Every structure is written in C-alpha cells, then in structure tokens.
Amino acid sequence: MFFAPFGGAGAGGERYVRIADMHNHNRDEYEKEILSLYKKIKPEITKRISEFRKIWKEADNDALFTELSFCLFTPQSSARQCWKAVNILLEKNLLFDGHWEEIAQEINIVRFRNNKAKYLVEARGRFLCGDGIRECLDLHADARERRNWLARNVKGMGYKEASHFLRNIGLGQNLAILDRHILKNMKLLGVIDKIPDTITGKIYLELEEKLEAYSKESGIPMEHLDFVLWYKEAGEVFK
C-alpha cells in the first residue's frame, strides 16, 4: 500500500485511516475475547442468576434488606469488601439494630463509611419498621419502574445501585449495572466513544440503551453481559 510522505498531500487522511483500521481490529479482537469468555463461564453465570431468582421467591424481608445494604455500600468500594462488611455487621448484630456510629466504626473497609452507615439506618427504618421491601416492590409492574422507585425513595441509591440490588434478588432482567468495570469494557468494545465524567439519570439511561443494543447484537443477554464484563476485570462471578 502506498502512503503519502509525512506532511505531504493526503498524509493526514492516510494516517487517520490506518488508526481507524487499527482501532476496528482491536475492537474486533476484544469482542472475540469477550464471546470466548462468555462461552467459558456461561454455566457459572446461569447458576448464579438461578440463585438470585431463588432469593426473591424464598427470602424473607431481612434477607432482602441484607442485599440492599450490600448494594448501598458498593459505590466506589470493592464488592468483596462490601460483602465482608455486611457479614461483619451480621455477626455483631448491628445490621438490624446498630446505631449508625456503631455501624460506621465496623465498616472501615468501605469508603465513605459514615454516609453509608446513615443510609443503611435510614433504609432500615423504612423497610423494617414500615412496609417491607417485597411489599414496596410488588407495587410496581416491571424492573425499570421498581428501579425508579428505589432511586427516588432510598437515600444513597442511584440507578446503578438500584439495578445491582434488583439483579441480586432476581428482578434485574435487562437492567445495566454501569460501574467502572462495565464502562471501561463498553469503551473497549466500541459501544461508547468515551466514558462520561459524570453520569446523570438521563445519561445512565442512554448508556443502558447502548449496552442493550450491543447485547442483542452479540447474542449475550443483558443479565449475563454484566457478569461477563465484570469477570473480565475482576476474574470472578460474584455479586
């Protein structure tokens, strides 16, 4: 192939084409990697989703609140550490009864622990002393309505955390959990051009729509896709 000399006529255009071709090649190779990974871990994902659906069918309000607490802890924190923090609170009988200051003291492995301890106590007052989580969610017909309700009514819970919670109790079909791992992979796959500096509710829904389109194109269901992209970064199927 002939390329014009550097700085000559058409040089900028030729360089642009080469860079674009390289990006497309990298994206295609990355997509093959994702599809191969999905084939490998699909049985594990299916098993995990089945476990989540069982939670909604069988769990009592305390078990649902435990999952809610985990999701309240997760912003800008390790999922593993957040689940460890929840279990510490359970072991010390603080999750359902502790004052926020007692809770904050025990969850120093979670970022912004004071605020998150307060969010937990406020949510606990609503769901354990008033209507239960199941009763509140049953008032809404589909996953997106349930997510909207959670984001409006549970302090500390945005679309991402609400989507995560609903997925973890078996109600999150077709919802995206747009954490940094997922956004990074969306960019690598060419689903988005750049990762937004801030994500408003409107932007979140636009990103979710793009991921849903990729889900249909790739043949990986939305509730599976999150696990695949998260596994690519974290190396495990977790929560």
Cβ within 8 Å of residue 102, ≥6 positions away: 94
Rounded to an integer, what distance in angstroms lies between the CA atom of residue 163 and that of residue 185?
18
* Same structural domain, 108 and 34: no
Q: Say what percent of the chain tops pLDDT 70.
A: 88
Domain termination site, one of 168, 199, 225? 168
Domain CATH for 140: 1.10.340.30
- Give the domain range for residue 227: 17-54+176-234
pLDDT at 9: 47
Asked if residue 7 belongs to a domain, the reply is no
Annotated catalytic sites, by residue? 160, 179
pTM of the model: 0.85
Q: Stretch 221-227: mean pLDDT, rounded? A: 92
Mean confidence (pLDDT) of the chain:
88
* Same structural domain, 118 and 140: yes
Domain CATH for 30: 1.10.1670.10
Domain count for the chain, please give it. 2
pLDDT at 237: 82
pLDDT at 130: 58
| pLDDT tens digit sequence for 88-136 | 999 999 999 999 999 999 999 999 999 999 999 999 988 875 568 988 8
- CA angle 160–88–85, rounded 5-degree value: 25
Q: Stretch 51-74: mean pLDDT, rounded? A: 94
Alpha helix positions (H), 98-200: 100-106, 113-127, 133-137, 143-153, 159-168, 180-188
Confirm if 204 and 196 have CB atoms less than 8 A apart.
no
Domain termination site, one of 117, 135, 168? 168
Q: Say what percent of the chain tops pLDDT 90.
A: 71
* Same structural domain, 180 and 153: no
Rounded to an integer, what distance in angstroms lies between the CA atom of residue 159 and that of residue 166?
10
Instruction: Determine whether 231 is exposed, middle or buried from the number of CB atoms within 10 Å of its CB (0-12, 13-18, 19+).
Output: buried
Query: Is residue 4 pLDDT above 80, yes or no?
Result: no
